[in-house]
Amino acid sequence: MRRKKLILVVAIMIGVAFAFNATRALAEDMTADDFKKEALKHITTITVSEAKALLDKGGVTFLDVRTETEFKKGHIPGAMNLPRGKLEFKIDKEIADKNAQVVLYCKTSGRSALATYTLVKMGYKNLKNMDGGWEAWTKAGYPVE
């Protein structure tokens, strides 16, 4: 009986130690660049020329995840603005169809990569992150509003 209690106590201690180490491993120090690299593993990224072709074809929503101030300074024609900081709270009202074709962009594609990955985790299926973001779009000389 005493041996069974000892084995039980040791098993509990090992379980607690394992849980502590697992939690600690999840709380690793990650930089913003690390988060972006992790997101890029799980999302589809397209070039600005591919995004332009989708814009010309139609039937695709362009989602600008920059701030409202950035958006007001210029954006892709017809794009909707939903800043990344409000995304999880408002996306279901703005884009209810989780099968909608959506191209996300920001200034350089960091925030949009993270936003795209967030929406993937929320069940959205047809998302594309525009590589290079707004800067690449304007550098290519594509239309702006």
22-44: pLDDT as tens digits:
545 555 798 988 989 998 899 99
19 pLDDT more than 80 = no
Select from 71, 94, 89 the least CA-distant residue to 145.
Answer: 71
Within 13 A of 80's CA, how many CA atoms are on the CB side? 13
Average pLDDT, the chain: 88
In the prediction, which pLDDT does 51 show?
Answer: 98
- Cα(136)–Cα(54) distance, rounded to whole angstroms? 16
Give me the active site residues, please: 106
Within 13 A of 61's CA, how many CA atoms are on the CB side? 19
135 pLDDT more than 60 = yes
